[in-house]
Amino acid sequence: MSIPKSFIDQVLDQTDIVDVVGRRLPLNKKGSNYWGKCPFHDDQKPSMAVNQDKQFYYCFVCQASGNAINFLREYENLEFTDAVETLASSLGLEIPYEKIEIQNESDYSIMDEAVKVFEKQLKESKAAIDYLKSRNISGKTAKKFQVGFSDSKWDSLFSSFEKKFDEKVISSSGLFLEKNNKSYDRFRNRVIFPIRNIKGQNIAFGGRVINSDEEPKYLNSPETKLFKKSNELYGLYEARKETKKMDSIIVVEGYMDVIALHEKGIKNAVATLGTAVTSNHLSKLMRYSNNIFFAFDGDLAGEKAAWKALQNVLPIIREDTRIKFVFFESGDDPDSFINKYGKQRFNELINEGKTLSEFFFSQIKKIDDINTLEGRSKIASYASDLIRVINNTPLKEAFISETSKIIGIPIEKLLSKRPLSSLPGFASRREVEQKKAHQRISKKRTASIYLIIHSVLKDRSLVKDPVFDQIKENSSIAFLKELREVIDEQTDDLISKLIERIKSNALKELFSQAMVSEIEIEEEDAKKVFSDCMNSLLKEEEDREELLKTKYNTGSISETERRELQQLILRKPEIDNEDKKLLKDLSLKKD
Instruction: Please write the tens of the pLDDT for every residue from 68-79.
Output: 999 998 888 888
Please determine, for residue 463, whether its predicted confidence score (pLDDT) is greater than 60.
yes
pLDDT at residue 490, as a whole number: 56
pLDDT at residue 539, as a whole number: 82
Residues 6+ apart with CB under 8 A from 60: 47, 48, 49, 513
Indicate if the alpha-carbon torsion angle 253, 257, 262, 264 is positive or negative.
Answer: negative
Give me the phi and psi of 56, to 5 degrees please: -150, 150
Q: Rounded mean pLDDT of 420-444?
A: 45
Sheet holding 249-252, edge to edge: 269-271, 249-252, 291-297, 322-328, 354-355
Instruction: Please write the tens of the pLDDT for every residue from 366-396.
Output: 999 999 999 999 999 999 999 998 988 889 9
Q: Which one has a higher pLDDT value, 508 or 440?
A: 508
Instruction: Please write the tens of the pLDDT for every residue from 227-284.
Output: 999 889 999 999 988 877 789 999 999 899 999 999 999 999 999 998 889 888 988 8
Q: Where are the domains of the chain?
A: 5-91, 105-220, 236-361, 365-416, 436-588
pLDDT at residue 470, as a whole number: 87
pLDDT at residue 471, as a whole number: 85
* Longest CA pairwise span in the chain (Å): 95
pLDDT above 90: percentage of residues in the chain: 43
Q: Rounded mean pLDDT of 128-146?
A: 95
Let me know if the fold of 5-91 is the same as that of 236-361: no
Sheet holding 202-209, edge to edge: 148-150, 190-196, 202-209, 218-220
3-state secondary structure of 50: strand
pLDDT at residue 591, as a whole number: 45
Residue 246 burial class via C-beta count within 10 angstroms: exposed 0-12, middle 13-18, buried 19 and up: buried
pLDDT at residue 491, as a whole number: 65
pLDDT at residue 105, as a whole number: 66
Q: Is the pTM of this model over 0.95?
A: no
d(CA 165, CA 106): 8
Please determine, for residue 422, whether its predicted confidence score (pLDDT) is greater than 60.
no
**In CATH terms, is domain 105-220 a member of 3.90.980.10?**
yes
Q: Rounded mean pLDDT of 309-322?
A: 89
**What is 5-91's CATH number?**
3.90.580.10
CATH class of 436-588: mainly alpha
pLDDT at residue 313, as a whole number: 92
Q: Rounded mean pLDDT of 412-432?
A: 50
Instruction: Please write the tens of the pLDDT for every residue from 496-543.
Output: 778 778 888 888 888 888 888 878 888 888 899 999 888 888 887 777
Residues 6+ apart with CB under 8 A from 394: 26, 319
Please provide the average confidence, as pLDDT, over all residues in the chain. Answer: 86
Question: Topology of domain 365-416, per CATH?
Answer: Pheromone ER-1 (1.20.50)
Sequential DSSP letters for 432-450? HHHHHHHH---HHHHHHHH
Question: Topology of domain 236-361, per CATH?
Answer: Dna Topoisomerase Vi A Subunit; Chain: A, domain 2 (3.40.1360)
